[in-house]
Amino acid sequence: MAVQTSRIVFLVDMQAFFASIEKVQDPALEEHPVVVAGDPEIRSGVILAACPLAKKWGVKTAEALWEAESKCPYLVVIRPRMQLYLDMSVSIAASLEAFTDEVEPYSIDEIFVEMTNVLPGLDMTAKEAAEMLVTKIYRETGIVARVGIGPNKVMAKMACDHFSKKQPGGIFHLHEQNLQEKLWPLSVGDMFGVGWRMARHFHDMGIRTIGQLARASLSDLRKRWGINGELLFWTAHGWDESPVTIDTHIRRKAIGHHMTLPRDYGSWEEIKVVLMELSEEVARRVRANRYLGTTVTVGARGHNYFDQPSGFHRQVKLYDPTNDGNVIFDAAKQLFLTHWNQDPVRSLGISLDGLMTDEARQLNLFYPDRDREVLNHTVDELKNKYGDAAVLRASSLTAGGQALLRAEKLGGHYK
């Protein structure tokens, strides 16, 4: 079985993006091990990015700040500036659009680029074109980029994650001829789309490598996990038909908001405040995208969720589609109180799934909601004009509230 070979897709990844930007902004940091951490004033903060010099000391992304400082006593710790990083990401994406309009931001530091129709005009090989993009990004921004090349987005992503970062030039092409040699020996948990839970299920079945998954019975995988099992089977074979498109993130299936709390929350009174804030934020984003949703999902984790997973992840279907924070909160409250085991909570998340356009809806004669809609949109306009802290619930000013602090942040970090 062969992978698709008619396309050439790049996944452009910016190396140590946040830390690299800080070094470009301050040349005095060039020879220093630099990390960007969630909150340097709190030693339990998490490393968001580490420059190559810091990584030589053993510092890793996502580890606790105190662990990183214990490895590297000369570490320079910088608080994140998310607006700066976001602006730089947009600028790099715009620069790549000089070659093609098929440019899709995958994350703040990763960008898919469809090169299939571009290469003939450039009269270059895929590797030569990748080298040109890397040079262009470095000259314009001072950021070192790496490129994974593949016949589709999934292959380009895995090429970048597992191979490009280990190459001297930061470029690797994963294709039909080297798929079995390079990709199949990797652990099944390294495959795109396989999380730790699914990896554990595969291990229980005796599937420990990507190659073993590729050789597994498709009917067995489909019977056990439905369409997801079939999708992972085809991913192991290098198949992916998803296009590189600028509106991938516009057509959403769900909108959610997650919050890591500054400390353990053990009382319902404090947890309730955060659930309300999350519900309001999700509702606001759903309204901004002109959606209604039908399913509320709530997730909670305790302090030790990295090594000893605890908590729950549950959902409930609503009677009517909604984009109202009060309705979302009522459903979230019901879910939380039903499944919470009274253990302290360190992170909470809420999402609204089953999204549909808000252009039309079934009216309810017994529960008119026109006044709520007017109020919600008025509050949205005030926040858009004067900032997120312009209108707050009184409960957000209590000890458990996080809305006032998060109003100063972007993506959970200071702007």
Annotated binding site for Mg(2+): 13, 109
Q: Is 131 a catalytic residue?
A: no
Report H helices in 205-324. Answer: 210-214, 218-225, 227-236, 268-288
Q: In what order do the strands lie in the sheet with 171-173?
A: 103-107, 110-114, 9-14, 145-150, 171-173
Distance from C-alpha of 259 to C-alpha of 396, rounded to nearest angstrom: 14
Question: Checking DSSP bridges between strand 413-414 and strand 409-410, what pairing results, if any?
Answer: antiparallel
CA 85 to each of CA 22, 171, 303, 318, 411: distance values in angstroms, whole numbers, following the listed order = 9, 23, 29, 38, 11
Q: Which two tokens stand for residue 192?
A: 């795109």
Q: How far does the chain reach from its first CA to its final CA, in angstroms? A: 48
Q: What are phi and psi of 48, to 5 degrees?
A: -90, -30
Set 104, 110, 270, 281: catalytic member: 110
Q: What are phi and psi of 17, to 5 degrees?
A: -50, -55
Distance from C-alpha of 82 to C-alpha of 387, rounded to nearest angstrom: 16
Q: What are the binding residues?
A: 13, 109
Active site residues per annotation: 110
